[in-house]
Amino acid sequence: MRIRKLIPKQTLGPLISHCWREAVTEGMATFILVFFGTGAVMVNHITSGALTHLGVSFVFGAVVAALIYATGHISDAHINPAVTLAFWASGFFPARKVLPYILAQCIGAIAASTLLLLTLGYVADLGATLPLQGNWFQSLVLEVVLTFILMFVILGSGLDRRAPIGFAGLAIGLTVALEAACFGPITGASMNPARSLGPAVVAGIWQHQWIYWVAPIVGAQLAVIAYRQLSHGFRDIQ
């Protein structure tokens, strides 16, 4: 009833369909991210390190950058439940789109891991993220920090209108590659619940999965709080 008061009746259908079009785009983008990112991990294992760890990190960063430029004008290229929740918390994303986005992202990730299993087989745990030597506290803290940095860069380069135009994809992609290169061997450098969920579901690896939901969400929310303070309640970025 409240929605009908705020939005003319004739616009309800187009708005709902547009939301699902954006959600489908998010699902496709997350599929591509997981397919190439975790696929690189698997191929590196199959080829006895032909890609190298730095090569895998580059793949993650490059595909994120490409997807931002390819889908940013359609769905804002969240490709990450933690980012979606952070944009919602910042007031720049409507609550009605949160669930469709997150569901689409998770489905896309699971579909990508399923295809990788069918084509490459069960190798390298399908690129699943696990704490080094089971040190969950270390990974929890690092994933919070990594996601904080990533979300801070997203807000500064992609949301703040004072930032140089056209460089958001490059800045965010480089951040992902840098963080994966530095801390991937320790935590898996997920920073993305959907990226971790896909391999976990298909490979059946659930150990410490909670870390890769709690830490990215907390880190992204802390970045929102920090950027809100630095931009006078986001008034400076409009």
Q: Is residue 235 part of a domain?
A: no
The domain in which residue 81 lies consists of 18-229
Asked if residue 141 lies in contact with residue 212, where contact means CB atoms within 8 angstroms, the answer is no
Q: Is residue 223 part of a domain?
A: yes
Domain count, the chain: 1
Q: Is residue 148 part of a domain?
A: yes
Q: Is residue 126 part of a domain?
A: yes
Rounded to 5°, angle at Cα 159 from 156 and 160: 60
Q: Is residue 6 part of a domain?
A: no
pLDDT per residue of the chain (238 residues) written in tens, 0 to 9: 333 333 344 443 444 456 889 999 999 999 999 999 999 999 999 999 999 999 999 999 999 999 999 999 999 999 999 999 999 999 999 999 999 999 999 999 999 999 999 999 999 999 999 999 999 999 999 999 999 999 999 999 988 888 888 999 999 999 999 999 999 999 999 999 999 999 999 999 999 999 999 999 999 999 999 999 998 888 877 6
Q: Is 125 helix (H, G, I), strand (E, B) or coil?
A: helix
Q: Is residue 237 part of a domain?
A: no
Q: Is residue 1 part of a domain?
A: no
Residues 6 or more apart from 36 whose CB is under 8 A from it?
59, 60, 63
Asked if residue 217 lies in contact with residue 81, where contact means CB atoms within 8 angstroms, the answer is yes
What count of residues does the chain have? 238
Q: Is residue 40 part of a domain?
A: yes
Give the torsion through C-alpha atoms of 167, 77, 59, 102, to 10 deg. Answer: 150
pTM of the model: 0.90
For the chain, the maximum distance between any two Cα atoms, rounded to a whole number of angstroms, is 61
CATH number at residue 22: 1.20.1080.10
Asked if residue 205 lies in contact with residue 92, where contact means CB atoms within 8 angstroms, the answer is no
Nearest by Cα to 151 from 87, 56, 214, 211:
87
Q: For position 17, what pLDDT does the model report?
A: 58
Asked if residue 180 lies in contact with residue 60, where contact means CB atoms within 8 angstroms, the answer is yes
Give the chain's end-to-end CA distance (angstroms, integer): 31
Asked if residue 191 lies in contact with residue 167, where contact means CB atoms within 8 angstroms, the answer is no
Q: Is 51 helix (H, G, I), strand (E, B) or coil?
A: coil
Q: How far is CA 86 from CA 29, 142, 159, 224, in A?
A: 18, 18, 12, 6
